[in-house]
């Protein structure tokens, strides 16, 4: 059976590559990050029960004081225009001090869960109004999507976990529960409160474990949804680095402009030092303006030939010095001043040129 040749171009559009840092950065700006709401909820759940466990006597005492004050004082007040405001503020103050620790724990737990997953992030993109969210077809797709099914399974699993934890704790303490009739009201409340704390702490620990697994899944799903095709990676590279063809043309244009400026500076030179065919370096020196002679143009092979042609057109002296020409070419760039170790050799060349021209510029 003859095997058909495989054309890899057919697979160029498949999203098989990991997302680039740029793609992840753009997704983060839109609020698309790998996170699970279960972790924040589990941390809040755990911290809340720890709060009840550590400060239970204080909270219970404070709540009992509110009840006593309410029935012994507030109900006996005459409701008048003068005392309605102090009465309201007193009740509100007592309630705030009772629930403030719970609010603080909730805030700390929510911030901790989000910072652990995505760090600090403030964006406004998810707050923008998008009319496509009102599309019933899109809503139906979200309801019957894979993510919705996973969320449903998670909810069912959490119910099973809480139910089993509650059953296990109650079964282990069944003797206490059957003997509750022997205790007074305070004893009954104490036993039930301890059982609820035990159930809450064990359930919250299990929730944290489940949320970690859920975060791993959300991370996998996030990476999967951000996958890119080879063509998308190429397009992103072109946008970030520039099209290689355009980039090459820009560099070529820059080289041409630099060469043009260099050729325009050659007529200002005093001498062109050559080796004689491969290298050419044009030197300019103006005693009143420069602290030392400087290189205004340099070139090798074809460019060296062009420098010499321009020098001949403007009647600039051309001096052959193989060692000096090579040293100047490799050690200096255009507009660099002659260094100390080459200054003597260049000064001798300039003195020779000025002597020939009959202009004593170097003393």
pLDDT digits (tens, 9 = 90+) for 62-80: 777 877 887 777 777 777 7
DSSP-assigned letter for residue 89: H
The DSSP 8-state label assigned to residue 311 in this structure reads: H
CA distance 208 to 63: 30
pLDDT for 160-199, tens place per residue? 888 888 888 889 888 888 888 788 877 887 788 888 888 8
Let me know: does 279 contact 329? Beta carbons within 8 Å. Answer: yes
The answer to whether the beta carbons of residues 211 and 36 sit under 8 Å apart is yes
- pLDDT tens for the chain, 363 residues: list them: 444 444 444 445 577 778 777 887 877 777 777 778 788 888 888 888 888 888 777 777 777 787 788 777 777 777 777 777 877 887 788 788 878 888 888 888 888 887 887 777 666 666 666 666 666 666 666 666 777 787 788 888 888 888 888 888 889 888 888 888 788 877 887 788 888 888 888 888 888 888 888 888 888 888 888 888 877 777 777 666 655 666 667 677 777 777 778 788 778 888 888 887 788 888 888 877 777 888 888 888 888 888 888 888 888 888 888 888 888 888 888 888 888 888 888 888 888 888 877 654 444
Q: Is 167 exposed, middle or buried (0-12, 13-18, 19+ CB in 10 A)?
A: exposed
Q: Where are the domains of the chain?
A: 32-120+135-227, 263-357
pTM of this prediction? Answer: 0.52
CATH label, 263-357, candidates 3.20.20.210, 3.40.50.2000, 3.40.1390.10, 3.40.1690.10: 3.40.1690.10
Element (H, E) at 101: helix 84-118
């Amino acid at each position: 059976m003859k095997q058909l040749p495989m054309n890899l171009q057919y697979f160029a559009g498949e999203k098989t590559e990991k997302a680039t840092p740029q793609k992840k950065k753009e997704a983060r700006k839109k609020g698309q990050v790998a996170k699970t709401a279960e972790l924040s909820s589990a941390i809040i759940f755990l911290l809340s029960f720890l709060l009840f466990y550590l400060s239970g006597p204080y909270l219970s005492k404070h709540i009992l004081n509110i009840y006593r004050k309410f029935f012994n004082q507030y109900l006996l007040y005459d409701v008048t225009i003068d005392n309605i405001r102090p009465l309201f503020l007193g009740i509100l103050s007592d309630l705030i001090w009772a629930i403030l620790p719970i609010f603080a724990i909730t805030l700390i737990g929510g911030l901790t869960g989000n910072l652990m997953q995505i760090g600090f992030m403030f964006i406004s993109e998810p707050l923008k109004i998008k009319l496509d969210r009102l599309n019933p077809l899109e809503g139906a797709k979200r309801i019957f999507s894979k993510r919705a099914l996973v969320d449903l399974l998670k909810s069912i699993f959490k119910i099973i976990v809480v139910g089993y934890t509650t059953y296990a704790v109650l079964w282990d303490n069944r003797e206490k529960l059957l003997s509750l009739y022997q205790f007074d009201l305070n004893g009954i409340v104490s036993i039930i409160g301890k059982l609820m704390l035990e159930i809450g702490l064990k359930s919250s620990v299990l929730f944290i474990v489940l949320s970690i697994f859920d975060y791993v899944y959300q991370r996998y799903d996030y990476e999967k949804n951000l996958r890119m095709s080879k063509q998308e990676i190429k397009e992103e590279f072109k946008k970030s680095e520039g099209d290689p063809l355009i980039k090459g043309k820009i560099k070529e244009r820059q080289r041409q402009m630099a060469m043009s400026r260099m050729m325009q500076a050659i007529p200002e030179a005093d001498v062109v030092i050559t080796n004689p065919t491969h290298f050419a370096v044009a030197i300019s020196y103006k005693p009143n303006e420069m602290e030392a002679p400087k290189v205004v143009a340099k070139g090798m092979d074809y460019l060296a030939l062009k420098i010499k042609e321009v020098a001949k057109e403007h009647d600039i002296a051309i001096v052959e010095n193989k060692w000096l020409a090579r040293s100047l070419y490799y050690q200096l760039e255009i507009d660099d001043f002659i260094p100390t170790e080459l200054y003597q050799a260049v000064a001798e060349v300039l003195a020779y040129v000025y002597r020939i021209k009959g202009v004593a510029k170097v003393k």
